[in-house]
Amino acid sequence: MTDATLIPWTRFLSGTKTRILILPTGSLEQHGPHLPLWTDTLIAWKLALKAAENLENEDVEAPVLPPIPYGISYMWNNNEGTISVKQDTFVKYLIDAAVSALRWGTHLVILNGHGGNVDAAKYAAREIAQLSNKPVAVVNWWELVRDVIEGVCETSFFHADECETSVAAYLGIPITGRPRPSPQPFRRRQPGGVHVYMPEHELRHEPGSFGSPDKYSAEKGRKIVKEFVKRFTAFVTDFIKQR
């Protein structure tokens, strides 16, 4: 059984046998008029469950922990329904949950589904590894398959767009109505090595989707997810040896 929310406690006897804990992180934030608020978390969780199933077939025990439900979503804070936590809160909660969980596992993979969590997840991972004395990895799912996304999708990846809608459709996440094209500008690209931070609390984004979500298909999503599961499995199989 790969879904840790359904496992009896007696299955978590100790962390002596190789056991990879997968901890999904996401967000509860606006995802345009056609995707649910919990899209990022649902994608991360469902990808984790698919990957864990695949790992189990290869005899690697990889229970998927319940996801951290809220993320860092300053960017969409003025869109109704978005619930955001401060970076500090997110980091502390993630560290506490992960260090506690690692008493019953040998390795931890944080499977992140939300761009706003990237810096905080990496910061937390470094601390978790020190505190637990166990290896910790952060996987941002879209980064693991960025080349696949670029090959499969006609428009570039950002938020509630062609790619994310396709992946959501394939994973059975409900799509409300027909997604419409949202030809609003993507964020300005900065030179490599430059990180720019803007105050983001005053904006309200309409419609909240980007690019061409109307070009989505479950088939595009299937191709991306299939390759993700393959690469994630290969990574974890190698990660086990890094101890």
Q: Which residues bind Zn ion (CB under 5 A)?
A: 40
How far is residue 138's CA from residue 23's CA, in Å, rounded to a whole number?
9
Shortest separation between residue 223's beta carbon and Zn ion, angstroms: 19
**Nearest residue (beta carbon) to Zn ion:** 40
**Alpha carbon separation from 153 to 17, 167, 232 (Å, rounded):** 41, 11, 20
Nearer to Zn ion, 41 or 233 (CB): 41
How far is residue 236's CA from residue 178's CA, in Å, rounded to a whole number?
37
Shortest separation between residue 159's beta carbon and Zn ion, angstroms: 6
Instruction: For residue 24, give the nearest of 83, 98, 102, 92 by alpha carbon.
Output: 98
Nearer to Zn ion, 40 or 162 (CB): 40
Nearer to Zn ion, 20 or 173 (CB): 173
Shortest separation between residue 102's beta carbon and Zn ion, angstroms: 27
Q: Are 23 and 96 in contact (CB under 8 A)?
A: no
* 213 prior amide bond cis, ω within 30: no
Residue found by looking up tokens 């396709």 in the block: 166
Q: Are 106 and 243 in contact (CB under 8 A)?
A: yes
**Alpha carbon separation from 158 to 132, 142, 212 (Å, rounded):** 34, 10, 11
Nearer to Zn ion, 135 or 208 (CB): 208
Nearer to Zn ion, 106 or 117 (CB): 117
Shortest separation between residue 34's beta carbon and Zn ion, angstroms: 12
Shortest separation between residue 213's beta carbon and Zn ion, angstroms: 11
